[in-house]
Amino acid sequence: MGRTKEFDPSATLQAALELFWRKGYEATSMQDLVEHLGINRGSIYATYGSKHELYLRALDRYCENEGSAALERLNQPGPALPAVRAFLRAFADESLADQDRKGCLVTNTAVELLPRDAQAERRIETALHEVESAVTGALIRAKAQGELAEEADVRAQARFLVTFIQGLRVIGKTGDGRRINDAVEQALTVLR
């Protein structure tokens, strides 16, 4: 008969996510995880596998949580363009409110681990595709409702906005609010 876990695997995964988000993958040692999670190495390996597998599971959780929030912002009833603008503004506000300057775990992972980590790359590509699809859907609705010009290339606009958001998260690590706010105002001109 196996022993009962003396910790909550879901809460522990969340704690690992926060540590990886704050420090990055490479800078987080197994000893850091042991100390931060309050469980021994054997329990980490038995529950999550390797450090890399734990990181990927933490990244999956982050993508699931952040993706749900993004979709919720973009799928509000009524005019679509204000939802897209609010979506961009929310990213800027989150970047400015992040006192630890953690940025976005998706962006951080792309910068730190790609292209050498194929498993992380697949997750990053999926996350970016999901956000791009959600933004494209909102822009298609905006175009259908007459909020965007008929000739607007909504796919290209969505790709621009998703790329812009990733850059915004990098600049957010500097804490330069003026630069972020000016950039958001310029990005919003694409949607006029």
Chain segment 17-70, per-residue pLDDT in tens: 999 999 999 999 999 999 999 999 999 999 999 999 999 999 999 999 988 887
Burial 76-91 (b: 16+ CB within 10 A, else e): eeeebbebbbebbeeb
Domain boundaries, the chain: 56-191
User: How does pLDDT run across 63-102, given as a tens digit for each residue?
Assistant: 999 888 878 889 888 999 999 999 999 989 999 999 999 9
Please tell me the distance from the alpha carbon of residue 159 to that of residue 171, in angstroms, as a whole number: 19
Q: What percent of the chain has pLDDT over 70?
A: 97
Q: What percent of the chain has pLDDT over 90?
A: 86
User: How does pLDDT run across 142-163, given as a tens digit for each residue?
Assistant: 999 999 999 999 999 999 999 9
pLDDT at 2 over 60: no
The CATH code of domain 56-191 reads 1.10.357.10
Please tell me the distance from the alpha carbon of residue 9 to that of residue 11, in angstroms, as a whole number: 6
pLDDT at 116 over 90: yes
pLDDT at 179 over 90: yes
Query: What pLDDT is attached to residue 6?
Result: 80
Residue with tokens 């298609």: 140
